[in-house]
């Protein structure tokens, strides 16, 4: 009985751990890839588990983050639920250096008459979760 309870407890810890919800690996590249796949699948819950509770998202032209928590992140990305089925981000190029992952992405399927958008995203991953994200300023 004790061993059954131990196994049950261990499994519950694994399932509730955000690292295992997002990806089986805590490696920065795999974490960033997992959040991209959840983004493209419009799975906001899974997407958000790739980020720390106190994630900060910055515009590179500002020292202050425009997103300061996982809850704010989820609210900001609610638009995904209404995005066209063809909407997705595709990695054109990815650079990885330790905890930093830089993606050059092409956002496609934005809607009728809207061309693809090329964007850069810089991610910092610590302990298997994205803790900071930087985007270049909009033109």
CATH number at residue 80: 3.10.450.50
Q: What is the pLDDT of residue 112?
A: 86
Per-residue confidence band for 52, with pLDDT thresholds at 50, 70 and 90:
very high
Q: Is 63 left (phi over 0), alpha (psi -120 to 50) or beta?
A: alpha
Rg over alpha carbons for the chain, rounded to the nearest Å, is 17
Q: What is the pLDDT of residue 23?
A: 81
Q: What is the pLDDT of residue 15?
A: 38
Q: Give 3-45 pLDDT, tens digit per residue.
A: 544 444 443 433 344 444 688 889 999 999 999 999 999 999 9
pTM of the model: 0.82
Q: What is the pLDDT of residue 2?
A: 57
Tokens of 133: 């994200």
Q: What is the pLDDT of residue 3?
A: 56
Q: Give 80-94 pLDDT, tens digit per residue.
A: 999 999 999 999 999
How far from chain centre, in Å, is Cα 114? 24
Cα 40 from Cα 10, distance rounded (Å)? 31
Range of the domain at 16: 2-135
Q: Give the dihedral sign, CA 133/33/47/10.
A: negative
Percentage of the chain lying above the pLDDT 70 cut: 84
Q: What is the pLDDT of residue 50?
A: 98
Q: Which alpha helices (DSSP H) does the chain contain, by range?
A: 2-16, 18-22, 28-40, 44-48, 70-76
Number of independent structural domains in the chain: 1
């Amino acid at each position: 009985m004790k061993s059954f309870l131990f196994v049950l407890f261990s499994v519950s810890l694994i399932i509730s751990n955000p690292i295992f919800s997002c990806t089986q690996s805590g490696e920065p590249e795999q974490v960033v890839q997992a959040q991209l796949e959840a983004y493209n699948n419009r799975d906001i819950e899974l997407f958000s588990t790739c980020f720390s509770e106190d994630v900060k998202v910055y515009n590179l032209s500002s020292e202050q983050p425009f997103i300061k928590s996982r809850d704010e992140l989820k609210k900001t990305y609610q638009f995904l639920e209404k995005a066209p089925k063809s909407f997705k981000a595709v990695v054109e190029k990815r650079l990885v250096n330790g905890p930093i992952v830089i993606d050059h992405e092409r956002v496609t399927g934005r809607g009728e008459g809207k061309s693809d958008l090329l964007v850069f995203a810089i991610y910092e991953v610590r302990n298997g979760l994205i803790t900071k994200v930087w985007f270049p300023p909009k033109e």
